[in-house]
Amino acid sequence: MRVLFDQATPVPIRSYLNGHEVRTAAQQGWDTLKNGDLLAVARKLVASTYC
């Protein structure tokens, strides 16, 4: 499963998600996006990956 952490998610939670692909918004280059825009970009990525 892919997991995307936004700016407010405590990164230490990552250690509890072994076996999942965990990225942060900053790692994706999306750290300047706000919640609604961040969700829209993430949805487009998922749609393009699975369609």
Render pLDDT for 1-51 as a digit per residue (tens, 0 to 9). Answer: 888 888 888 989 999 999 999 988 899 999 898 878 988 998 888 888 765
pLDDT of residue 18: 94
Q: How many CB atoms lie within 10 A of CB 22?
A: 19
Domain ranges of the chain: 2-50
Cβ contacts of 46 within 8 Å, gap of 6 or more: 2
Tokens 């996006």 belong to 33
- H or E stretch covering 4: strand 2-5
Strand partners, 5: 24
